[in-house]
A and B are shown apart, each in its own frame.
Chain A
Amino acid sequence: MSNGLDVWAARRGGAALSEVRLVIPLGGLGADASSDATARLTAELLFSEAAGPAAAEAGSRLAALGFSARASAGAGTFSVGLSGLDDNLAEALAIVADVLGSTSFDADQVAQRAGRIAAQLELEGADPGRIAHDRLRRLLFGGHAYGRTLSDPSAVAATESPAADAFARTHLVPSRSHLVVVSPRDATEVLSEAESSMKVWGRSGEATPVPDPPDTAPDTFGHMLVLDRPDSVQTAFWFASRTSGRGAPDHAALTIAVLVLQKRVYDNIRRRNAWSYAAGSQLIDLPKASYCMLGCPVRTEVTMPAYAELLYEMNRMIASPISVEELEEAVGALQGRTAQRLGSRSGLAEELCRLAEAGSTIRVLADETAALSSVTADEVMETSRRWLAPSRTAFVAVGKAETLQPLLGIIGPVRAEPV
């Protein structure tokens, strides 16, 4: 668009619903607690009366049109998700564009609400899975914007309206941001409508892509970090390692490796040993980095044998090729998952948004699906050695340090910190 906004439109037939994703890169913002708090607060207040007259009405107007809007900030981006009745899409987009371009934060409102948001963040930060994920991200990405998933409640509570205003002026800009719209109507028509609605978003300046993250510090690898949570009745076990990203030559083999590892962990930890309800791994692709996360929550008493079995499964991936059956099953599963994901509006919108952020094209989806079929078991093993070995993995366990530290220390180096 003339204001620099990159717009994608896709048709998905069926119900008269639209899904919209807007992603605004924030550069390196969000790496420190203060800038992250400002971004988070701005996101939470964007569609409230705290953000000015346009925003005050936006919530009611959108609801009347059958739309819900939610804003979020993290991992170097500011995002807006919008979903609702397709008949009113143009008007809903215009409302969002108006809000984005005209925020004016009220000092009293911000002061009142910041504390409430901080209270919600405290509840989020009490979830052991989220605690583990946040710490792993910090271990993998250090002081980069990717190194934080939980906002600091006290930093949010201390954020004032001038900071939110400055943030919005500087960063909520259309140029180099990405808008994806999925609608049951013809994509050309929707594209034209989206462009017409979003042109009112007229802030100057350019969104800055997130910078490349630093390499993970070597002393992060291979050590177990226990985050002490004395009242835990279960250990939240999570491991993570940096990997190559989408578009890398070994990406297809990597996705297969991660899925096979997930299934092996599930079969071992859950099905055979019944130590966990949810055991597995996933590959997470951010615009400038990718990482594999593996984990399971297990009851405190079996944390040590579970750790040993998890290491066994990771080592099995690097020691010998997977079986033909495992390879075929993984390829079928991954191809099927892509089809299912793209079969819903929200899944399609999310997928297109990731492509837009990465500067890719939709052809990538077809290429990735096709590439899976030509991966060999040896390639999966090589990729596992490159990215999934315990020696290049960070380990976190959230639970009772008093119990965990001595037991896990039998297997390898352990250090403990408070949550």
Chain B
Amino acid sequence: MGTAAGITRFTLDNGLRVVVAEDRSAPVVAVTVNYDIGLRTEREGRSGFAHLFEHIMFRGSANVPDGDFSRLTSRYGGGGNASTGLDQTNYTTVLPTNALELGLFVESDRMGWPTLSEEAHRGECEVVKEETRLRFLNKPKTEPIGGWWLDMRALAFDGYPNAHDGTGSFEEIEASSAAETREFFESYYTPANAVLSIVGDPGDVDVKALVEKWFGVIPGRPTSPIPAVSEPPLSEERRKVLIDKLTPSPMLAVGWRTPDPVADMASHAAAIVLAEVLVAKEDGLLVRRLVSKEQLATSVAGFVEFFGLQFLARDPLLLSVTVHHDGSDADALLSAIDEEVAQFVAAPDECAVERAKTTVLTRWLQNIDEVGMRSIFVAGFELIWGRAELLDEIADVYRSVTTDDVVRVARDYLTPTSRAVLDIRGSK
């Protein structure tokens, strides 16, 4: 579906892996570079650095002056964006088919020779602080993708990679230097630590030749080791009370570990289905119990990390459930959650599982409808699994999830002793 003409791949002498997935259903093409470096791979004392660096990558390169990246691409009808995830940072430009070479030129120029000026560094330090204020500090923590998520990771994990605030402490961002951005670039933004994906309609060009022309001249160099991020699960519940002045009413957030997506993709998929079983609007087990039946909550939501980019992050990850309420007792909410999970394990509702599977599958297909998102997944799958083909196979992974799989995940992972609980209280 997303790869109508199949995948072709090759690796350049400098180590850059390249994946081409043709789809000629619309005259657009996406160029994405995924680097295998994200929030979790920042060193202590430099929280937020991976995200800061992502910003600086838009501030000029040897042949693309500061400000010209977006000017050039938009002039030719394109647009781009980037995002820093837990383990990967992706840069995506979507262009009309006839502007493919422009996309390859601008991406290669900043892969090889980003300017990384002092001015850009200082400027983007201020900009990322404003982004943090905009997304997290100036709005209620309890918004769907609000600051609660950062507090949850700080509580659920002990190791710095997983527990630290990836948006960055303002003090550490301000203390960073342009020299450190150069060092970060040299260490991690190497061709061998990246995958280039070209997804969509490339037109009638020799794609491999174009890639060689623009990326082949980038010198190869070794990549610094990426720190390990694994850590054992919690052995007892952790709980924390937070007061948030901007939140109008309280929310309970509960986080549990999920199965390792790389070592056990099928079980991780089952965890994604389980989240839907629990929180589906109207029909979710927790919605029925907490909202409809006992009116302990006003709404229930939940997800498995990482914000629509499922399977693009490695273990450990969380399945989180958020419960908005009007002052219910946290223990009463947790007891109800535990009972529902136990009842599901003892006597699973197979219809609910099938509905959840269908919902998750549809959501996945919608997620990859847009060519830019497809290119991110193609690059990401190649980076982690060496299998961009997963773009077409994930649907079958979801279809293959069984009720037993979902029950097993609920039984083994959603336990009262292995969770983190945030009790967020508001201004009222």
Residues of A within 8 A of B (CB): 12-17, 47-49, 59-60, 63-68, 83-85, 112, 115-116, 119-120, 122-123, 125-128, 231-234, 236, 263, 267, 270-272, 274-278, 297-299, 328-329, 332-333, 335-337, 339-340, 342-347
How far is A294 from B354 in the complex, measured between Cα atoms in Å? 45
* A123 touching B143, Cβ below 8 Å: yes
* B249 touching A274, Cβ below 8 Å: no
Contact of B362 among A85, A275, A339, A346 (CB under 8 A): A85
Q: With a CB–CB cut-off of 8 A, which chain A residues contact B246?
A: 126, 231
Q: Ordered nearest first, which 10 A-B pairs have the shortest CB separation?
A: A336-B77, A274-B126, A277-B131, A333-B74, A116-B298, A274-B123, A119-B298, A329-B75, A63-B355, A277-B130
Q: With a CB–CB cut-off of 8 A, which chain B residues contact A299?
A: 129-130, 133
Cβ of A217 to closest chain B Cβ, rounded Å: 30
How far is A291 from B403 in the complex, measured between Cα atoms in Å? 51
* A339 touching B27, Cβ below 8 Å: yes
How far is A274 from B298 in the complex, measured between Cα atoms in Å? 40
* A336 touching B95, Cβ below 8 Å: yes
Contact of B96 among A68, A128, A336 (CB under 8 A): A336
Q: With a CB–CB cut-off of 8 A, which chain B residues contact A267?
A: 67
Q: With a CB–CB cut-off of 8 A, which chain A residues contact B77?
A: 332-333, 335-337, 339-340
* A64 touching B354, Cβ below 8 Å: yes
Instruction: Considering the complex, give the chain B residue whose CB is closest to the CB of A109.
Output: B292
Q: With a CB–CB cut-off of 8 A, which chain A residues contact B122?
A: 274
Q: Which candidate, B204-212, B262-270, B338-346, B365-373, is the interface stretch facing chain A?
A: B365-373
How far is A116 from B326 in the complex, measured between Cα atoms in Å? 9
Cβ of A419 to closest chain B Cβ, rounded Å: 11
* B25 touching A14, Cβ below 8 Å: yes
- Asked whether any CB of chain A lies closer than 8 Å to the CB of B379, the reply is no
**Cross-chain pairs A/B with CB under 8 angstroms, 16 sampled:** A15-B369, A17-B366, A59-B283, A68-B363, A83-B362, A112-B292, A123-B247, A233-B137, A234-B133, A275-B130, A276-B127, A278-B131, A339-B26, A339-B77, A343-B26, A343-B370
Contact of B282 among A48, A263, A298, A346 (CB under 8 A): A48
Kindly list 18 other residue pairs between chains A and B, CB separation below 8 angstroms, not including A60-B282, A85-B362: A13-B25, A14-B25, A49-B282, A60-B283, A60-B355, A63-B356, A116-B291, A120-B324, A126-B247, A127-B139, A236-B138, A263-B71, A267-B67, A277-B127, A333-B77, A336-B76, A336-B77, A336-B78
- Asked whether any CB of chain A lies closer than 8 Å to the CB of B192, the reply is no
Cβ of A15 to closest chain B Cβ, rounded Å: 5
- Asked whether any CB of chain A lies closer than 8 Å to the CB of B194, the reply is no
How far is A337 from B365 in the complex, measured between Cα atoms in Å? 22
* A115 touching B123, Cβ below 8 Å: no
Contact of A234 among B2, B96, B137 (CB under 8 A): B137
How far is A128 from B1 in the complex, measured between Cα atoms in Å? 41
* A298 touching B130, Cβ below 8 Å: yes
* B281 touching A59, Cβ below 8 Å: yes
* B368 touching A119, Cβ below 8 Å: no
Instruction: Considering the complex, give the chain A residue whose CB is closest to the CB of B295.
Output: A112
* A15 touching B1, Cβ below 8 Å: yes
* B280 touching A63, Cβ below 8 Å: yes
Q: With a CB–CB cut-off of 8 A, which chain A residues contact B129?
A: 299
Known: A126-B139, A328-B75, A333-B74. A340 touches B358 (CB 8 A): no
- Asked whether any CB of chain A lies closer than 8 Å to the CB of B52, the reply is no
Instruction: Considering the complex, give the chain A residue whose CB is closest to the CB of B361.
Output: A66
How far is A60 from B95 in the complex, measured between Cα atoms in Å? 39
How far is A347 from B369 in the complex, measured between Cα atoms in Å? 10
| B:288-303 near A, CB below 8 Å | 291-292, 295, 298-299
Q: With a CB–CB cut-off of 8 A, which chain A residues contact B281?
A: 59
Contact of B283 among A63, A344, A346 (CB under 8 A): A63
* B324 touching A119, Cβ below 8 Å: yes
Q: Chain B interface residue count: which class? A: 35 or more
Q: With a CB–CB cut-off of 8 A, which chain A residues contact B140?
A: 123, 126-127
How far is A277 from B140 in the complex, measured between Cα atoms in Å? 19
* B366 touching A119, Cβ below 8 Å: no
Instruction: Considering the complex, give the chain A residue whose CB is closest to the CB of B373.
Output: A344
- Asked whether any CB of chain A lies closer than 8 Å to the CB of B382, the reply is no
How far is A191 from B1 in the complex, measured between Cα atoms in Å? 24
Contact of A332 among B28, B76, B126, B134 (CB under 8 A): B76
How far is A125 from B143 in the complex, measured between Cα atoms in Å? 11
Instruction: Considering the complex, give the chain A residue whose CB is closest to the CB of B363.
Output: A68
Instruction: Considering the complex, give the chain B residue whose CB is closest to the CB of A121.
Output: B248
* A83 touching B358, Cβ below 8 Å: no
Contact of A271 among B67, B94, B358, B371 (CB under 8 A): B67
Cβ of A108 to closest chain B Cβ, rounded Å: 11
Q: With a CB–CB cut-off of 8 A, which chain B residues contact A17?
A: 362, 365-366, 369
| B:166-224 near A, CB below 8 Å | none
Contact of A128 among B28, B74, B138 (CB under 8 A): B138
Q: With a CB–CB cut-off of 8 A, which chain B residues contact A47?
A: 282
- Asked whether any CB of chain A lies closer than 8 Å to the CB of B142, the reply is yes
- Asked whether any CB of chain A lies closer than 8 Å to the CB of B109, the reply is no
* B79 touching A336, Cβ below 8 Å: yes
Instruction: Considering the complex, give the chain A residue whose CB is closest to the CB of B297.
Output: A116
Q: With a CB–CB cut-off of 8 A, which chain B residues contact A346?
A: 366, 369
Cβ of B72 to closest chain A Cβ, rounded Å: 9
How far is A311 from B113 in the complex, measured between Cα atoms in Å? 37
* A122 touching B248, Cβ below 8 Å: yes
Q: With a CB–CB cut-off of 8 A, which chain A residues contact B326?
A: 119
* A234 touching B369, Cβ below 8 Å: no
* B282 touching A120, Cβ below 8 Å: no
How far is A333 from B72 in the complex, measured between Cα atoms in Å? 9
Per-position 1/0 for B347-389, Cβ under 8 A of A: 0000100111011011101101111000000000000000000
Contact of A126 among B67, B76, B248 (CB under 8 A): B248
- Asked whether any CB of chain A lies closer than 8 Å to the CB of B22, the reply is no
Cβ of B391 to closest chain A Cβ, rounded Å: 11
Contact of A63 among B125, B245, B358 (CB under 8 A): B358
Contact of B127 among A232, A274, A328, A342 (CB under 8 A): A274
Instruction: Considering the complex, give the chain A residue whose CB is closest to the CB of B324.
Output: A119
Known: A47-B282, A234-B137. A84 touches B130 (CB 8 A): no
How far is A83 from B368 in the complex, measured between Cα atoms in Å? 14
Q: With a CB–CB cut-off of 8 A, which chain A residues contact B2?
A: 14-15
- Asked whether any CB of chain A lies closer than 8 Å to the CB of B36, the reply is no
How far is A64 from B358 in the complex, measured between Cα atoms in Å? 6
How far is A347 from B1 in the complex, measured between Cα atoms in Å? 19
Q: With a CB–CB cut-off of 8 A, which chain A residues contact B363?
A: 68
- Asked whether any CB of chain A lies closer than 8 Å to the CB of B66, the reply is yes
Cβ of A186 to closest chain B Cβ, rounded Å: 15
Known: A234-B133, A332-B76, A339-B27. A271 touches B369 (CB 8 A): no
* B134 touching A297, Cβ below 8 Å: yes
* A343 touching B324, Cβ below 8 Å: no
Name the residue in A234, A275, A342, A346 with the highest tally of chain B Cβ atoms < 10 Å from its Cβ: A234
Q: With a CB–CB cut-off of 8 A, which chain B residues contact A297?
A: 130, 133-134, 138
- Asked whether any CB of chain A lies closer than 8 Å to the CB of B273, the reply is no
How far is A236 from B245 in the complex, measured between Cα atoms in Å? 18
Contact of B139 among A112, A120, A128, A332 (CB under 8 A): A128
Q: With a CB–CB cut-off of 8 A, which chain B residues contact A14?
A: 1-2, 4, 23, 25-26, 369
- Asked whether any CB of chain A lies closer than 8 Å to the CB of B124, the reply is yes
How far is A86 from B168 in the complex, measured between Cα atoms in Å? 43
Q: With a CB–CB cut-off of 8 A, which chain A residues contact B125?
A: 274
Cβ of B320 to closest chain A Cβ, rounded Å: 17
Cβ of A17 to closest chain B Cβ, rounded Å: 5
* A329 touching B74, Cβ below 8 Å: yes
* B133 touching A115, Cβ below 8 Å: no
* B359 touching A63, Cβ below 8 Å: yes
